[in-house]
């Protein structure tokens, strides 16, 4: 039986708390990969990655790569029939060798893992925050996010790519006069932020995330409004001042991603990168 991979966590004193006084001077801190504290990894979006899906893209955040497909089905779930409302849902999964050691497919285990279920629901909630169901009509769009390679930030990369695939699926419906109105009320993207070694930073790679004092995922609309904030003190509490700094980093990161999404959707070749 293969050895289980255990994520290392930095040791902390009991009752340790992250506050502005414990945060290092950002100007004196250099990340291992040379990035600035508020700098995203190289991000690339490539649309139309799949031939058969109504919308698809490959989204890359550094070495994290996620393939996203949006599939359109006429009609809605039974509990939604005759309501005049559409539906958007999502599924998330990692390939067995997306990480440094192979994991069994969840289909072999006979059940979906808690983490997978949680992330699937997060992606769906994020997309439903910018959808007008009535304008979508009684159509269902299923978003499949498959992690090809994981190096931190797979859920935020999935959300960012999912919007692009969703947009193209909506355009597919529009071309067939299958919409009642304009279903998309805006765009949505997501980024990870955290405090590592006492320093707030944006877009954590696995090496940073695995030893973060505070770990947070932020989902924002293109207008800068929050759709969801998931934050955890990894063995340490954190103050409101630190929370504010992380929210600022998250909003700024999502603003860059919203601009990247717009460029990818406008590009004739369906490509854009930061």
- pLDDT tens column, 107-134: 667 667 777 889 999 999 999 999 999 9
DSSP string, the chain: -PPPP--------TT-EE-GGGS--GGG---TTS--TTPPPPEEEEE--SSSSSEEEEEEETTEEEEEEEEEEES--GGGTTSS--EEEEEEEE-TTSSSS----HHHHTS--HHHHHHHHHHHHHHHTTB-HHHH-SEEEEEEEEEEE-SS-HHHHHHHHHHHHHHHHHHHHHHTT--SS--B-S-EEEEEEEEETTEEEES--HHHHTTEEEEEEEEEETTS-EEEEEEEESSSEE-HHHHHHHHHHHHHHHHHHHHHHHHHHHSTT-EEE-
Residue 9 has pLDDT above 50, yes or no: no
- 106 pLDDT band, cuts 50/70/90, is confident
Measuring CA to CA, which residue among 274, 244, 247, 250 is closest to residue 262? 274
State both tokens at 228.
């969801």
Distance, CA of 133 to CA of 267 (rounded, Å): 27
pLDDT of residue 38: 96
Residue 11 has pLDDT above 50, yes or no: no
**Looking at the predicted structure, is the pLDDT value of residue 77 above 70?**
yes
Over residues 16-63, the pLDDT tens digits come to: 455 555 555 554 567 889 999 999 999 999 999 999 999 999 999 999
Q: Is the confidence at residue 73, as pLDDT, over 80?
A: yes
Confidence category of residue 171, pLDDT binned at 50, 70, 90: very high
Give the pLDDT band of residue 161 (cuts 50, 70, 90). Answer: very high
Annotated binding-site positions? 115, 153-155
**What are the boundaries of each domain within the chain?**
38-99+112-266
Q: What is the pLDDT of residue 236?
A: 79
Architecture of domain 38-99+112-266: 2-Layer Sandwich (3.30)
Q: What confidence score (pLDDT) does residue 105 get?
A: 78
Judged against a pLDDT cut of 80, whether residue 15 lies above it is answered with no
- Neighbour tally for 74: CB within 10 Å: 11
Binding residues for phosphate: 115, 153-155
CB-based contact 66:146 (threshold 8 Å): yes
C-alpha 42/C-alpha 30 separation (Å) is 17
Report pLDDT digits (tens) over 232-264. Answer: 998 778 999 999 999 999 999 999 999 999 999
Instruction: Out of 107-111, 200-204, 205-209, 214-218, pick the least confident.
Output: 107-111
Quote the tokens at residue 113: 């893992």
Tell me how crowded residue 89 is: count the other CB atoms within 10 A of its CB. Answer: 15
């Amino acid at each position: 039986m293969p050895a289980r991979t255990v994520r290392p966590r930095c040791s902390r004193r009991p009752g340790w708390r992250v506050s502005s006084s414990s945060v290092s001077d950002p100007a004196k801190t250099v990340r291992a990969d040379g990035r600035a504290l508020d700098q995203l990894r190289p991000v690339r979006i490539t649309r139309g990655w799949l031939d058969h899906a109504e919308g698809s893209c490959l989204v890359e955040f550094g070495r994290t790569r996620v393939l996203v497909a949006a599939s359109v089905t006429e009609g809605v779930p039974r509990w939604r029939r005759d309501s005049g409302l559409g539906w958007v849902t999502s599924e998330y999964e990692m390939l067995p060798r997306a990480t440094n050691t192979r994991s069994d497919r969840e289909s072999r285990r006979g059940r979906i893992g808690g983490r997978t279920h949680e992330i699937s629901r997060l992606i769906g909630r994020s997309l439903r925050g910018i959808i007008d169901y009535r304008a979508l009509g009684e159509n269902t769009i299923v978003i499949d996010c498959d992690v090809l390679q994981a190096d931190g930030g797979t859920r935020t990369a999935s959300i960012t790519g999912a919007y692009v695939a969703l947009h193209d699926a909506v355009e597919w419906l529009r071309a067939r006069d299958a919409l009642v109105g304009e279903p998309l009320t805006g765009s949505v993207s997501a980024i990870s932020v955290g405090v590592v070694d006492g320093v707030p930073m944006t877009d954590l790679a696995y090496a940073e995330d695995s030893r973060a004092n505070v770990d947070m995922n932020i989902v924002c609309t293109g207008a800068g409004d929050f759709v969801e904030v998931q934050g955890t003190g990894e063995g340490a509490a954190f103050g409101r001042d630190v929370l504010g700094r992380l929210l600022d980093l998250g909003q700024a990161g999502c603003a860059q991603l919203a601009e990247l999404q717009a460029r990818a959707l406008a590009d004739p070749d369906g490509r854009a990168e930061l």
